[in-house]
């Protein structure tokens, strides 16, 4: 086992994000598409019980011809919606040249799967005072993933939540293979949530994998939700509707109560 510095507890991090509950229900579109789209989805999700909104402005896509996100314009839209609705947003940083902009505008900074190995970016994020969501690399072992977290911890930023988002397996029926064993293992060291959407990639399986994540002990989930899922500009095949999100959240709370209270 590698050296692992002490990290903050889930409750300490949630307090910094102004969240009063003890589970994360993070939901929102894969990407910011417009102010109207983001405002509508975020305000509906808040009414339904989401406590963090996700939205990508810089979208690292497999194909350079796919929608790449609105970039800085997207960050400005997130800031405007976040301020109006008074809700924390998580958004992915892809390059440390944007660090000042993220520091000014984004409450919870995501490091995506593709950047989990970017140690220079990790070191820079270790010097700041904002909570970090560190996703698992697509083929990262637990040791590599925890070492990525250590790059941040070592510099002094202890507010890190890890995010299981599936790994590449031998079967490509699902977008990735959801490794739920990571949840009880990683939870021994730091908080962990599950991004069910990227892990499975198919709308119809999001619900059962969300319940499975909570049953495994996850501190929360991240779900891609869209007001018009089929026409989402990014990851339409895994986006669920706002009503479906509400149903999943209500049932998850019942499950959590039955299992842990």
Interacting residues toward Mn ion by CB under 5 A: 30, 235
Shorter beta-carbon distance to ligand PEP: residue 115 or 250: 115
| Nearer of residues 117 and 256 to ligand PEP, judged by Cβ | 117
113 binds ligand PEP (CB under 6 A): yes
Report residue 1 as tokens.
């086992």
CA-to-CA distance for 127 and 130, rounded, in angstroms? 9
Q: Which is nearer to ligand PEP, 62 or 188 (CB)?
A: 62
Among 33, 92, 107, 159, binds ligand PEP (CB under 6 A): 92
Site for ligand PEP in 208-237 (CB under 6 A): none
Tell me, what DSSP letter sits at residue 136?
A: P
What does the alpha-carbon distance between residue 164 and residue 135 come to, in Å, rounded to a whole number?
6
Give the containing element (helix H, strand E) for 135: strand 132-135
Among 87, 198, 210, 248, binds ligand PEP (CB under 6 A): 198
- Cβ distance 225 to 29 under 8 Å? yes
Distance in angstroms (rounded) separating the CA atoms of residues 159 and 36:
31
Min dist. Cβ of residue 67 to Mn ion (A): 11
Least distance (Å) between residue 132 CB and Mn ion:
19
Cβ contact 38:77 at 8 Å: yes
Tell me whether residue 29 or residue 126 sits nearer to ligand PEP (CB atom). 29
CB of 29 to Mn ion, least distance (A): 8
Q: Which is nearer to ligand PEP, 79 or 114 (CB)?
A: 114
- 18: alpha, beta or left? (left if phi > 0; alpha if psi -120 to 50): left
Q: Write down the least CB distance from residue 239 to Mn ion, Å.
A: 8
What is the distance between the alpha carbons of residues 23 and 11, in angstroms, rounded to a whole number? 9
Q: How far is CA 259 from CA 61, 86, 215, 217, in A?
A: 37, 31, 7, 10
For 159-173, the three-class secondary structure string (H helix, E strand, C coil) is CEEEEECCECCCCCC
Q: Report the DSSP beta bridge partners of residue 132.
A: 109, 160
Which residue in 30, 52, 134, 223 binds ligand PEP (CB under 6 A)? 30
Location of structure tokens 């869209």: 226
37-56 residues in contact with ligand PEP (CB under 6 A) are: 56
Contact pick of 23, 48, 165, 226 for ligand PEP (by CB under 6 A)? 165
Nearest approach, Cβ of 254 to ligand PEP (angstroms)? 27
| Binds ligand PEP (CB under 6 A): choice among 23, 48, 135, 175 | 135
* CA 45 centroid distance within chain: 15
Q: Which does 92 bind (CB under 5 to 8 A by kind): ligand PEP, Mn ion, none?
A: ligand PEP
User: Which among ligand PEP, Mn ion, none contacts residue 164 (Cβ within 5 to 8 A by kind)?
Assistant: none
- Contact residues toward ligand PEP (CB under 6 A) are 30, 56, 60, 92, 112-114, 135, 165, 195, 198
């Amino acid at each position: 086992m590698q050296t692992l510095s002490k990290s903050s507890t889930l409750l300490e991090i949630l307090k910094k994000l102004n969240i009063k509950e003890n589970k994360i229900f993070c939901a929102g579109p894969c990407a910011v598409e417009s102010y109207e789209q983001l405002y509508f989805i975020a305000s509906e999700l808040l009414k339904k019980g989401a406590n963090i909104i996700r939205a990508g402005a810089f979208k690292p896509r497999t194909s350079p011809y796919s929608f790449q996100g609105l970039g800085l314009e997207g960050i400005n839209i997130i800031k405007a919606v976040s301020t109006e609705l008074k809700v924390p947003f998580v958004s992915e940083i892809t390059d440390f040249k944007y660090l000042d902009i993220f520091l000014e505008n984004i409450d919870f900074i995501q490091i995506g799967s593709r950047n989990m190995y970017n140690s220079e970016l990790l070191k820079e994020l270790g010097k700041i005072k904002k909570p970090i969501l560190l996703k698992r690399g697509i083929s990262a072992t637990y040791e590599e993933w925890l070492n990525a977290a250590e790059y941040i911890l070592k510099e002094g930023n202890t507010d890190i939540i890890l995010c299981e988002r599936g790994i590449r397996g031998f079967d490509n029926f699902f977008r990735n293979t959801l490794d739920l064993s990571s949840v009880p293992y990683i939870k021994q060291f730091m908080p962990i949530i599950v991004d069910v959407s990227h892990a499975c990639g198919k709308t119809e399986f999001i619900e059962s994998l969300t319940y499975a994540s909570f049953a495994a002990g996850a501190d929360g989930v991240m779900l891609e939700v869209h007001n018009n899922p089929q026409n989402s500009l990014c990851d339409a095949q895994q986006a669920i509707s706002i009503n479906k999100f509400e149903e999943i959240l209500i049932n998850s709370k019942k499950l959590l109560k039955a299992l842990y209270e």
